[in-house]
């Protein structure tokens, strides 16, 4: 029989045996279960309901963003002290950039042969990464820009790994050169939208001309 009663009446019946309390903020009578526990009050229950308490916390965080951020960081680093040490180290290193540059230069002078050998091995194992780094470095002080190896592979896949000038197909993607449509010497960037895949011969023939073979 009780199953036929409206939901609102059922809630009232269920709460008849539960102690009620008035929220000091919204002034609404609510069940004690709608309040947080507080051992500092006489009845052991907070004076404001959970909904008003959550609303107050959100408003405080909006008004005290920096303070809340600092407090959360302190709590986080208290649980993870090693992360605090790592963060402090990075902060100190940023403040002593000149000292770090001198240390790196000294390390390079002492280990120039070993670094060169390791660099050659890495370049041979990762030709696309090495070529990308060269392009980004060349355009750093001119047109700027950058691209990822994934973007270059996707661009080559769109042309079926073919040179967009002569149409020759290559099974090895490293045989295709990322040609700058607007050359670096003319302030062309290294963004992916300024690159086109050309074979070695077509790349040399194009030289510093501004030609977009993708539209041909």
197 shares a domain with 176: yes
26 shares a domain with 52: yes
Cα torsion angle, 94, 137, 155, 170, sign: negative
Out of 95, 110, 141, pick the residue that ends a domain: 95
The predicted pLDDT at position 166 comes to 93
Beta strand pairing call for 177-180 and 20-22? unpaired
pLDDT tens, position by position, 32-79: 888 999 888 888 899 999 999 999 988 888 888 888 888 888 888 788
pLDDT tens, position by position, 74-92: 888 788 776 666 666 666 6
Cα torsion angle, 39, 43, 47, 53, sign: positive
Long-range CB pairs of 42-46, under 8 A, 24+ apart, other chains included = 45/21
134 shares a domain with 121: no
Listed in sequence order, the residues at least 6 apart from 1 whose beta carbon sits closer than 8 Å to its beta carbon are none
Block means of pLDDT (10 residues each) for the chain, length 216 residues? Answer: 51 59 90 89 90 90 86 82 66 72 88 90 86 79 83 92 93 90 88 92 90 81
The predicted pLDDT at position 85 comes to 63
pTM of the model: 0.47
201, 168 in Cβ contact below 8 A? no
Is residue 29 left, alpha or beta, with left meaning phi > 0 and alpha meaning psi from -120 to 50? beta
Out of 109, 125, 141, pick the residue that ends a domain: 125
11 shares a domain with 91: no
118 shares a domain with 85: no
Listed in sequence order, the residues at least 6 apart from 188 whose beta carbon sits closer than 8 Å to its beta carbon are 139, 142, 143, 180, 181, 182, 194
CATH number, residue 146: 1.10.30
73 shares a domain with 55: no
The predicted pLDDT at position 155 comes to 92
The predicted pLDDT at position 81 comes to 73
The predicted pLDDT at position 199 comes to 93
The predicted pLDDT at position 167 comes to 92
209 shares a domain with 131: yes
Task: Give me the number of domains the chain comprises.
Answer: 4
Boundaries of domain holding 82: 65-95
């Amino acid at each position: 029989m009780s199953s036929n009663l409206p939901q609102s009446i059922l809630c009232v019946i269920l709460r008849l045996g539960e102690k009620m309390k008035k929220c000091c903020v919204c002034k609404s009578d609510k069940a004690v279960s709608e309040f947080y526990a507080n051992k500092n009050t006489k009845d052991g229950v907070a004076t404001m309901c959970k909904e008003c308490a959550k609303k107050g916390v959100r408003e405080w965080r909006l008004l005290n963003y920096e303070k809340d951020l600092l407090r959360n960081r302190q709590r986080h680093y208290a649980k993870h002290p090693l992360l605090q040490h790592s963060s402090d180290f990075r902060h100190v290193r940023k403040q002593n950039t000149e000292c770090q540059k001198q240390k790196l230069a000294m390390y390079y002078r002492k280990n120039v042969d070993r670094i060169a050998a390791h660099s050659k091995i890495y370049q041979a194992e990762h030709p696309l990464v090495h070529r990308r780094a060269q392009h980004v470095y060349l355009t750093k002080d001119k047109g700027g820009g950058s691209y990822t190896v994934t973007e270059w592979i996707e661009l080559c896949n769109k042309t079926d790994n073919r040179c967009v000038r002569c149409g020759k197909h290559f099974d090895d993607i490293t045989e295709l050169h990322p040609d700058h449509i607007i050359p670096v010497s003319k302030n062309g960037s290294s963004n992916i939208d300024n690159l086109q895949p050309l074979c070695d011969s077509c790349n040399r023939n194009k030289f510093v001309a501004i030609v977009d073979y993708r539209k041909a």
